[in-house]
């Protein structure tokens, strides 16, 4: 990775972490467009059949710290998975063949 690319990753991660720290405090708790449309249409809420490790970006008993931690964990997982997927799928042909 070039120095420029390192800066890109570092800057990107810092922005993500800032969002993760602010989001639990300033994000709107109102239902999103689809949830609200479901309310408008009178659709009852469905219970999730699958139990995720951090439902609704929370960690049980940890309140805001838990929400921040859940987001930070998610950011790191996403970054790593995306990196691995991108490396696995990257262009294979050697530079001379691509000209």
Partner 1 sequence: MHIPDGFLSWTWPIYYVIMFVALYFSLRWARKNLDEKLIPLIAVLSAGIFAIMSMNMPIPFGTSGHMLGGALVAIVFLAPEAAVLVLFIVLLVQALFFGDGGITALGANVVNMGLIGGAVAYFSFRGLEKFTGKYPAAAIAAWLSLFIAAEVVAVEMWLAGTFPLDVGLASMGIYHAFIGVIEAILTVVVLIALDKLRPDLLAWNRKTSGGQKLEGSEEVAAK
Task: State in angstroms the smallest separation of the CB of 14 from partner 1.
Answer: 11
Q: Supply φ then ψ for residue 59, to 5 degrees.
A: -120, 125
> Cα–Cα–Cα angle for 73, 88, 9, nearest 5°?
45
Residue ranges in contact with partner 1 by CB under 8 A: 1-2, 4-6, 8-9, 12-13, 15-16, 19-20, 22-23, 26-34, 36-38, 40-41, 43, 46, 48-57, 70-71, 73-83, 85-87, 89-92, 98-99
Beta carbons of 72 and 25 less than 8 angstroms apart: no
Task: State in angstroms the smallest separation of the CB of 53 from partner 1.
Answer: 6
């Amino acid at each position: 990775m070039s120095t420029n690319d390192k800066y890109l990753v570092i800057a990107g991660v810092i922005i993500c972490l800032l969002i993760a720290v602010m989001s639990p405090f300033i994000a709107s708790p109102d239902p999103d467009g689809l949830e609200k449309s479901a309310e408008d249409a009178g659709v009852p809420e469905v219970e999730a059949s699958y139990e995720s490790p951090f439902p609704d970006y929370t960690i049980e008993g940890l309140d805001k710290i838990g929400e921040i931690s859940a987001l930070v964990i998610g950011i790191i997982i996403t970054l790593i998975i995306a990196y691995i997927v991108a490396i696995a799928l990257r262009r294979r042909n050697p530079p001379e063949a691509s000209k």
